[in-house]
A and B are shown apart, each in its own frame.
Chain A
């Protein structure tokens, strides 16, 4: 069983919709939680980074971590066509090595 499981998608939504992307994990030692955005044929770029349980907001993006349930989410409000990409969740322990989910491909239709 994988340490990190990500909702597979693909996901297709109309412009302006609220998007929810989700990952679960099994390793209690994970302390750092990241979301990366990857456009087609490009390298991933860090979108959100959180450390503790709770919410972190950055513009239209909100990252949510629930350590008790081992569940993390990324919410995108007022989604735009430019948000169309693959979203990867990633987690790491104090050792610094990241474990990635398989990614969810999102398409936002105008």
Chain B
């Protein structure tokens, strides 16, 4: 079945540590996105990538980094510079050429900083 796989589902981190969240898709989508969701709030865009080896900052990129070395993979690193990293992180993808905003989401990764 085609879809988006995020791992790990739950992650605990000590303050000052970097952590990397994995996102893999087999939908053959060109565009991939990372969103952050806090309780009672909508999704805020962290980074997005329209093609391999290229990515752009979203609305809240500070303290995060990404790479896009393969079409299928778009890992997100939450660095120690992110002041409030505890949140629910969602990876999404969409087809290129259709700038309609229709997104397919993974199941999410919940990061807790201890």
Contacts and interface: CB of A to CB of B under 8 A. Distances in A.
Interface of A: 4, 6, 32, 34, 36, 41-46, 49, 51, 88, 90-98, 100-103
A46 B105 CA distance: 9
B102 A49 contact: yes
A101 to B, nearest CB: 5
A92 B104 contact: no
Interface stretch (B11-19, B42-50, B66-74, B77-85): B42-50
Contacts of B42: 4, 6, 88, 100-103
Contacts of A32: 100-102
B102 A34 contact: yes
B31 interface: yes
Nearest to B58: A97
Contacts, number: 70
A43 B105 contact: yes
Given A88-B43, A96-B100, 7 more contacts: A36-B103, A46-B104, A94-B99, A97-B58, A98-B43, A100-B43, A102-B41
30 contacts: A6-B42, A34-B101, A34-B103, A36-B105, A41-B108, A41-B110, A42-B107, A43-B92, A43-B105, A43-B106, A44-B43, A44-B103, A44-B105, A46-B104, A49-B102, A88-B42, A90-B43, A92-B99, A92-B100, A92-B101, A96-B98, A96-B100, A96-B101, A98-B103, A100-B42, A100-B44, A102-B40, A102-B42, A103-B40, A103-B42
Please classify how large the interface on chain B is, using the bins under 10, 10 to 19, 20 to 34, 35 or more: 20 to 34
